[in-house]
Amino acid sequence: GNTLGLCGNFDGKVMNDLLTSSSSEVYSVLDFGNSWKTATPPCSDVITEIYPCERHSYCATWAQRRCKILTSDTFEDCHLKVDPQPYYQACVMESCSCEYEGKFLGFCTAVAAYAEACSANDVCVDWRTPDLCPVYCDYFNEEGEFTWHYNPCGQIKTCGTNHRFTGKLEGCYPKCPDETPYYDENLGKCTTLDNCTCNFNNKVLTPSTEICSSYTCCKCQSGNITCIIVTGPTQSTPPRISQEMNTTTPTPINTTSSSTTVSSTTLLTAEPTTTVCECKDVMRNKSWPCGQCEVYGDPHYISFQGATFDFMENCTYVLVEEQVAEHRFSIVLDNYYCIPEIDSSCARGIILSYWNDRVRLMVTEEYMVEASLNGQTIKPPYEDQTFRFESSSNDVSVFIKPIRSYVSLSPFNSLLISLGKEHFENNTQGQCGVCGGPSCIRRNGITEEEYCCDKTAYDWIVEDSLKPYCQFAPTNVPCVSPPPTNTPTTEPPPGPPCNTTICDLLYHEVFAECAERVDLTLVNKNCELDVCWFNGSVGACSALEFAASLCRRAGICVDWRSLSNGYCEITCPDGMVYDECHESSNTVCRDGAQVAVSAGTGMRSGCFCPDGQMLAEEHKQICVSECTTVWESNCHICTCNNQTKTEECSPKPPAPIPICSAFSMLGSDCCGNQICGNLSCAVRLNRMNLSISSCSQEVDLPVCEGHCEGHNRWIHTNGTLELKQTRDCCKESSYEMREITLSCGQSFTYKHVTGCQCKKENYVS
């Protein structure tokens, strides 16, 4: 949203791309283009648009004849997969732009565009000849060498990716022999994987070369930069394995994990480290992992510096944002009233922003965590250049690789945020406080004492169109002196004593070893409070889950869920088993072989493959005993060609189109498959046939579409609990009166929708 010009403003909205240099929105392409003329060289406004074939009429016949190659037998195999007509029309227009010089470069570019579309649909067309748009690769060959050659649909293994990319691109490619199959882009030659170099801050590192800074030591391994934190362990916390991330970019913010061996097969992993980064408070003799903020229960907060407080409002709030926008990073928390008849809230989900990307994690009514990236539903595990989504069947974690940070959300409303201290130290604000600084901070920068965090939390409210009632929520709430005891500030609701037996698990022998090293007193009080609020044992799950995570960080495994009488148990997919303390690395099948990959967060709880089995692939929760020669990768089905010893991939067949419910809309996942997903209420362009009198035309007009949350509340009337439901509808919140001119010449005034919000419809009992 911070750009202007002929390419638009890059805010993801089609409607407002035609902004002039004076920031006025126009509908004439000529007016739009004229406004962006540069002062030099001087040029008058274009009054009438003349197409290239009209301007250079002598080129028209030649262009039409040459462009018929697109509809000829040369591209016959592609015609049923990609319609050639739009490309033919574009080819004619491009070819007519020949300017008197006889350089018909537009023709070659247009044909190449159609060939690329065919290649994307697995039809490779070798259409170039020495006389027709030739490409010469000898420029890249050293004298006497013939390494580089032209390939219309090339693939190659490079050091930067360590595998053959699935895209097939036209161009010049090096032909690497079997003994040195990887092309090293840094050195411009073929090599083996263990001899691949790395690009680190624009410096070429040879294998095993190590560079250290004040926070990390990084070295080059198999073409990837692997970094570990160099801070030593504290006395209060035993050493443990820290996080590993590999990157092909020059970003050195990574740590390592332990190696794993399956059966008798040797697996290559990063070297382990026993160091751990921690923040230590000498005055209170406590320590916390660096840059971690947590929210659990209804909800209980733990700031970056370890301050604990409760905050039970149901609006949307900033948990973390940068004081100075170096990464355009923020995390917003969506709170909602999760307990019938009582104003006590839970964390429904978060919205994470990083540069121009937007990640959502939401807990559904079915106690599942849904993930999306830029509006597209994500089914973990999934990975791109920036994010890695992982799931252990109950929680979902999102790793932001360039900044060594991650966020995790569980179905029981437990949220964990971990930030790379080297990127965010003393540069955050919000309900989580300042990473490495004070915990209670207001929007105006004023810091308060730690007992005031539950009041400064009000300041971080953000506008949410789904919660119009939050426009009147309080801010700048004054601090109140702390009570004389360390009891929770919010008392349980009045009524008969609630049964908090499930919280006694914290005194069970399974927690005994952990309780000697981790103070669980406050967790127990919060557990009892949550059970009383929820009026049921399920309210304890988030607190018990949090206690077990504290024990895991101390290196102690607590297998507690089987003792919760079924209230907090996790159901695993068929063939998988639940493990409370699974090691950070998993074994998966990749390219038909076993490979150890790091999960990146030390010990984890969740659903995993039984001993002796491994994941069939990184993007499926299917366990197998041995790796086969067929696998799925990047939306393709791949197999190994035994004759050429190369990977051959074809697009995965499309899944059947699902039937969506009334509260979801049809969308696409990362592979292009149509899926049902909840789409938030927003302005969207809708193509419609506009008919007025005898004038008819298809136009794109903005409408309000999307999902609105329903709200359930229990009302106590005459001794009976009655469920009241409200249904919100996506309706216009603002509009402008504009004029539209149809092709028949008639002009009409209409309401141009500029904003939408969920509005209450009525009560349904």
- Dihedral, CA of residue 622, residue 624, residue 627 and residue 628, to nearest 10: -80
pLDDT at residue 715, rounded to an integer? 58
Give yes or no for residue 447 having a pLDDT over 70: yes
Q: How confident is the model at residue 619 (pLDDT cuts 50, 70, 90)?
A: low
Regarding predicted confidence, which is higher, 115 or 246?
115
Contact between 260 and 583 (Cβ < 8 Å): yes
What percent of the chain is predicted at pLDDT more than 90? 13
Establish if 426 belongs to a structural domain: yes
pLDDT at residue 277, rounded to an integer? 41
Regarding predicted confidence, which is higher, 562 or 245?
562
pLDDT at residue 704, rounded to an integer? 85
Contact between 278 and 284 (Cβ < 8 Å): no
**If residue 55 lies in a helix (H) or strand (E), which one and from where to where?**
helix 52-55
Q: How confident is the model at residue 286 (pLDDT cuts 50, 70, 90)?
A: very low
pLDDT at residue 264, rounded to an integer? 28
Residue type, 339: I
Comparing CA positions, the residue from 529, 506, 475, 465 lying closest to residue 310 is 529
Give the residue-averaged pLDDT of 513-522: 88
pLDDT at residue 714, rounded to an integer? 58
Comparing CA positions, the residue from 98, 104, 18 lying closest to residue 69 is 104
Distance CA 88, CA 294 (A): 57
For tokens 């009383």, what's the residue?
532
pLDDT at residue 344, rounded to an integer? 66
Highest mean pLDDT among 274-288, 322-336, 410-424, 575-589: 322-336
Give yes or no for residue 533 having a pLDDT over 60: yes
Strand partners, 594: 589
Lowest mean pLDDT among 34-38, 331-335, 370-374: 34-38
Give the residue-averaged pLDDT of 693-719: 70
Give the residue-averaged pLDDT of 308-332: 91
Distance CA 164, CA 151 (A): 15
Residues 55 and 32 reside in one and the same domain:
no
Residue type, 27: Y
Residues 186 and 303 reside in one and the same domain:
no
Give the residue-averaged pLDDT of 734-758: 78
For tokens 């509009």, what's the residue?
735
Distance CA 467, CA 336 (A): 10
Based on the structure, what is the number of domains in the chain?
A: 6
pLDDT at residue 113, rounded to an integer? 92
Q: Where are the beta strands (DSSP E) in 135-285?
A: 148-154, 169-174, 182-184, 189-191, 198-200, 203-205, 210-212, 216-221, 224-229, 246-247, 278-281
What percent of the chain is predicted at pLDDT more than 70? 73
Residues 40 and 183 reside in one and the same domain:
no
Give yes or no for residue 643 having a pLDDT over 70: no
694: domain CATH number is: 2.10.90.10
Contact between 110 and 90 (Cβ < 8 Å): yes
Establish if 593 belongs to a structural domain: yes
Lowest mean pLDDT among 273-277, 280-284, 528-532, 600-604: 273-277
Give the residue-averaged pLDDT of 752-758: 81
Contact between 244 and 598 (Cβ < 8 Å): yes
Domain boundary pick from 447, 482, 517: 482
Establish if 508 belongs to a structural domain: no
Establish if 662 belongs to a structural domain: no
Highest mean pLDDT among 108-117, 136-145, 264-273, 742-751: 108-117
Residues 309 and 407 reside in one and the same domain:
yes
Residues 423 and 290 reside in one and the same domain:
yes
pLDDT at residue 624, rounded to an integer? 82
Give yes or no for residue 625 having a pLDDT over 50: yes
Lowest mean pLDDT among 142-146, 230-234, 362-366: 230-234
pLDDT at residue 550, rounded to an integer? 87
Q: How confident is the model at residue 679 (pLDDT cuts 50, 70, 90)?
A: low
Q: Are strands 720-741 and 747-764 parallel, antiparallel or unpaired?
A: antiparallel
Cα-Cα end-to-end distance for the chain? 44
Cis omega before residue 181 (within 30°)? no
Contact between 527 and 543 (Cβ < 8 Å): yes
Residues 288 and 372 reside in one and the same domain:
yes
Give yes or no for residue 198 having a pLDDT over 50: yes
Angle, vertex CA 250, rays to CA 386 and CA 196, nearest 5: 110
CB count in 10 Å sphere of residue 144:
5
Contact between 573 and 552 (Cβ < 8 Å): no
Give yes or no for residue 126 having a pLDDT over 90: yes
Q: How confident is the model at residue 69 (pLDDT cuts 50, 70, 90)?
A: very high
Lowest mean pLDDT among 17-31, 168-182, 393-407, 434-448: 17-31
pLDDT at residue 384, rounded to an integer? 83
pLDDT at residue 111, rounded to an integer? 94
**If residue 64 lies in a helix (H) or strand (E), which one and from where to where?**
helix 57-67
Establish if 35 belongs to a structural domain: yes
Regarding predicted confidence, which is higher, 482 or 421?
421
pLDDT at residue 466, rounded to an integer? 78
Domain boundary pick from 431, 462, 482: 482
Distance CA 508, CA 515 (A): 10
In sign, the C-alpha dihedral spanning 429, 434, 435, 439 is negative
pLDDT at residue 343, rounded to an integer? 63
Establish if 672 belongs to a structural domain: no
Give yes or no for residue 241 having a pLDDT over 50: no
Q: Across the chain, which distance is largest between two alpha carbons, in Å?
A: 96
Regarding predicted confidence, which is higher, 482 or 515?
515
Highest mean pLDDT among 29-43, 402-416, 606-620: 402-416
pLDDT at residue 61, rounded to an integer? 84
Give yes or no for residue 74 having a pLDDT over 90: yes
In sign, the C-alpha dihedral spanning 628, 633, 637, 643 is negative
Give the residue-averaged pLDDT of 299-312: 88
pLDDT at residue 743, rounded to an integer? 66
Cis omega before residue 177 (within 30°)? no
Q: Where are the beta strands (DSSP E) in 600-719?
A: 604-608, 614-615, 623-624, 630-633, 636-641, 646-651, 665-668, 674-677, 682-692, 695-705, 710-717
Give the residue-averaged pLDDT of 165-191: 81
Residues 703 and 749 reside in one and the same domain:
yes
Q: How confident is the model at residue 459 (pLDDT cuts 50, 70, 90)?
A: very high
Give the residue-averaged pLDDT of 523-539: 78
**Residue 457: which residues within 8 A CB-CB, separation 6 or more?**
301, 309, 311, 313, 317, 431
Angle, vertex CA 102, rays to CA 99 and CA 104, nearest 5: 85
Give yes or no for residue 225 having a pLDDT over 90: no
pLDDT at residue 252, rounded to an integer? 32
Residue type, 162: N
Distance CA 465, CA 723 (A): 25
Distance CA 87, CA 686 (A): 25
Residues 335 and 445 reside in one and the same domain:
yes
User: What angle, 0 to 180 degrees and rounded to 10, lies between the N-to-C axes of helices 105-120 and 57-67?
Assistant: 30
Residues 56 and 143 reside in one and the same domain:
no
pLDDT at residue 124, rounded to an integer? 92
The backbone torsions φ and ψ at residue 720, rounded to the nearest 5 degrees and listed phi first, read -120, 135
CB count in 10 Å sphere of residue 324:
7
Domain boundary pick from 59, 92, 120: 120
Q: How confident is the model at residue 15 (pLDDT cuts 50, 70, 90)?
A: low
DSSP string, 481-517: PPPSS-S-SSPPPSSSPP--GGGGGGGSGGGHHHHTT
Distance CA 154, CA 79 (A): 21
Q: How confident is the model at residue 694 (pLDDT cuts 50, 70, 90)?
A: confident
pLDDT at residue 457, rounded to an integer? 94
**Using DSSP, how many helices (H) and how many strands (E) does the chain show?**
10, 45
The whole-model pTM stands at 0.49
Give the residue-averaged pLDDT of 612-619: 78
Give yes or no for residue 284 having a pLDDT over 70: no
Give yes or no for residue 710 having a pLDDT over 70: no
Give yes or no for residue 266 having a pLDDT over 50: no
**Residue 34: which residues within 8 A CB-CB, separation 6 or more?**
45, 46
Contact between 613 and 625 (Cβ < 8 Å): yes
Residues 330 and 361 reside in one and the same domain:
yes
Residues 39 and 54 reside in one and the same domain:
no
Establish if 710 belongs to a structural domain: yes
189: domain CATH number is: 2.10.25
Give yes or no for residue 244 having a pLDDT over 50: no
Lowest mean pLDDT among 7-21, 31-45, 281-295: 281-295
Average pLDDT, the chain: 76
pLDDT at residue 636, rounded to an integer? 75
Residues 59 and 20 reside in one and the same domain:
no
Residue type, 364: T
Give the residue-averaged pLDDT of 310-331: 91
Regarding predicted confidence, which is higher, 762 or 225?
225
Establish if 338 belongs to a structural domain: yes
Give yes or no for residue 650 having a pLDDT over 50: yes
pLDDT at residue 417, rounded to an integer? 92
Structural domain that includes position 468:
279-482
Which CB contacts under 8 angstroms, 24+ apart, belong to 196-201? 196/159, 196/162, 196/220, 196/222, 196/223, 197/159, 197/223, 198/159, 198/223, 198/224, 198/225, 199/250, 200/225, 200/250, 200/252, 201/250, 201/252
